[in-house]
Amino acid sequence: MSLQPLSKTTILLHWLTGIFLLVVLGLGLYMDELPKGPDKFEIMGIHKSLGLAFLFVALIRVVWRIREGSLPALNVQQTWQDTMAKGIHLFLLLATVLMPVSGLMMSIGGGHGVTFFGSELIAKGEEIKWMGGLGHELHEIGASLIILALLLHIAGALKHEFKLKDGMLSRMLGKKSA
Ligand code: HEM
């Protein structure tokens, strides 16, 4: 089967957001395990700054996806697995924006302000309890759901590549289909 190739921008944005997401997620999980202290504080600063840089890339990707539409389908007849994969893609796209936004809500709501690699973006202010609380809930639930969605997404990609052998992963790697 010959697949419609993906544009270079689609491929670049996919891997850029994927790798960037894993770094910020991994940093968040690592930081969560650290005891309160200067180390945790420092890592949290890096986590927040990278998370904000990630938001910039994620927003570009959302605009790109809206312009491009969904990825060209593999099959004419859609199975329940295809429908589930589409749902996971949509969730991951929304989560790439919701995670940084909920992180911002946590920081602003907690009255901590926001800095970007040492430069102040939003000054410290009054605590806004509902915003901090909601941001915290969304950030925590979002992190667990992202891990689940990523595992399903990777499992699906591997199944297509090695069991169904339809070249879906190769297409996202920019390799030409036979
Ligand atoms: C892709 C973007 C992001 C991802 C995947 C992510 C992920 C995580 C994870 C996994 C944790 C560990 C604890 C938890 O589950 O809540 C965490 C904690 C945290 N994140 Fe993020 N984060 C992102 C962006 C941001 C941004 C942009 C900010 C703020 C500007 C932020 C602020 C925080 C804070 C303050 C904590 C500590 C929460 C606590 O004390 O319980 N995050 N993040």
pLDDT at 1 over 60: no
- Could you tell me where the DSSP H helices lie in the chain? 8-33, 38-68, 80-109, 129-158, 168-172
Mean residue pLDDT of the chain comes to 92
Q: Which ligand 1 atom lies nearest to the CA of residue 139?
A: 16
Q: Which residues of 133-147 are buried (b: 16+ CB within 10 A; e: fewer)?
A: eebbebbeebbeebe
pTM for the full predicted model:
0.92
Q: Which ligand 1 atom lies nearest to the CA of residue 21?
A: 1
- Residue ranges and CATH numbers for the domains of the chain are 8-69+84-172 (1.20.950.20)
Query: In a mutational test of the pocket of ligand 1, which residue from 47, 62, 97 has the highest number of ligand atoms less than 8 Å from its CB?
Result: 47
Enumerate residues 6+ apart whose C-beta is below 8 A from 29. 143
- Write down the pLDDT at residue 59: 98
C-alpha of residue 146 to centroid of ligand 1, in Å: 12
pLDDT at 4 over 60: yes
C-alpha of residue 109 to centroid of ligand 1, in Å: 14
- Write down the pLDDT at residue 68: 85
Over residues 24-47, the mean pLDDT reads 96
pLDDT at 72 over 80: no
Residue nearest to atom 15 of ligand 1 (CA): 140
Whose tokens are 């979002």? That residue is 142
Pocket, ligand 1, Cβ cutoff 6 A: 21, 24-25, 28-29, 32, 44, 47-48, 51-52, 54, 99-100, 103-104, 106-107, 114, 139-140, 143
Residue nearest to atom 14 of ligand 1 (CA): 140
Over residues 9-28, the mean pLDDT reads 97
pLDDT at 28 over 90: yes
Q: Which residues of 87-104 are buried (b: 16+ CB within 10 A; e: fewer)?
A: ebbebbbebbebbbbbbb
